Structure 1
Amino acid sequence: MNQSALLRPDWTPATVALMVLGFVVFWPLGLAMLAYILFGDRFNTFKEAANLSVDDLVSKCRGWKTPGASPMRESGNVAFDDWRKAELARLQEEQRKLDEMRDEFSSYMRELRRAKDQEEFDRFMQDRNLNRSK
């Protein structure tokens, strides 16, 4: 790193002026500049460590597959794979039945609301006609 740079992580007149200006304009900017002055020389090592940990995490996750993106891996045990396929098919059928029941219930509730609204409207019209005839 070039230590003759104007904005280096050190107590230079430029960094102090920017820190004060940051606190005057918007205090988080001044706080960020203070953090840069105090810990700026450690940012490169922090960045390298963060990159290494993210790379490790990505390398561990590379073998994982998302459930909907591709077919599931075979385990190598034919009996287990057959059982898993049957269970997944059963669960999908249960999900389909639940979806149908939810749709039926939704339409039933819509019909109940429509009947209630119709009853209230009829009552309103009856009251209105009674009030007009008086």
Structure 2
Amino acid sequence: MSTIATWPARAENWLDDRGKGAWIAALVLAFIVFWPAGLALLAYMIWSKRLFSNGAGCARTRAAHETSVARSHGFRSSGNSAFDAYKAQMLERLEREQEEFEAFLKRLRESRDKAEFDQYMAERDRKAGGAASSEDDTERPAPGEY
């Protein structure tokens, strides 16, 4: 890769190493030198969340790493290994119980749906049977009417 293509990344790393003040100074300088460049830098700083973050890129990278580790383990480390082990065990048990409960609810819904369907079919058969018998009575001629 050419040096022309890498200078924005190098400048970004250089500013990240110096912190938020360097980014603000670069923003002010960009507005003084060429205002459209200042607007572009401001848009980039807002888009990359550099303007409102507590630290620059290093802090953001560290926070993203901690978040991904916390998500993969389900929690952040408290520093007490015995408590962390207990917490991990409890979370696994709760997840297992939640899955079992959701399976129970699914079976319950299926049985309720089946009961409702069976009731509907029974009512339908009763109505169809009653309607058929009443139709049979009305369509038959009375004895001696042939």
TM superposition score category, shorter chain reference = 0.5 to 0.7
Q: What's 2:38 paired with?
A: 45
- Corresponding residue for residue 81 of structure 1: 81
Assess, with a 3 A threshold, how the Cα gap between structure 1 residues 108 and 72 changes in structure 2: closer, same or farther: closer
Shift of 1:74: 6.5
Q: Name which one, 1 or 2, has greater alpha-carbon Rg.
A: 2
Alignment pair present for 1:123 and 2:116: no
Which TM-score applies when normalising by structure 1? 0.54
Where does the alignment leave 5 or more consecutive residues of structure 2 unmatched? 1-33, 135-146
Query: More deviation in 59-68 or 116-125?
Result: 59-68
Give 1:73 deviation, angstroms. Answer: 8.0
Corresponding letter in the other structure for 1:62: T
Name the count of aligned residue pairs.
91
Q: Secondary structure at the match of 2:106?
A: helix
Measured in 2, the distance between the counterparts of 1:112 and 1:49 equals 59
Which deviates more from structure 2 when the two are superposed, residues 64-73 or residues 91-100? 64-73
- Code of the aligned partner of 2:37: N
Q: Return 5+ residue gaps in structure 1 as ranges.
A: 1-40
Secondary structure in structure 2 of the residue aligned to 1:62:
helix
- After TM superposition, the structure 1 = structure 2 runs for residues 1-134 of structure 1, keeping only pairs within 5 Å, are 42-52=35-45, 54=48, 57-64=56-63, 65=65, 66=68, 67-69=70-72, 77=79, 80-134=80-134
Q: Distance in 2 between matches of 1:113 and 1:72?
A: 38
More moved, 50-59 vs 119-128: 50-59
2:127 is aligned with what amino acid?
Answer: D
CA distance in 1, matches of 2:133, 2:118: 22
AA partner of residue 60 (structure 1): A
Measured after TM superposition, the shift of residue 71 of structure 1 is 9.7
**Partner Cα distance (1:96, 1:110) in 2:** 21
Aligned-pair identity in percent equals 9
Root-mean-square deviation (Å): 2.9
Deviation at 1:42, TM superposition (A): 2.7
What is the TM-score when the length of structure 2 is the normalising length? 0.50
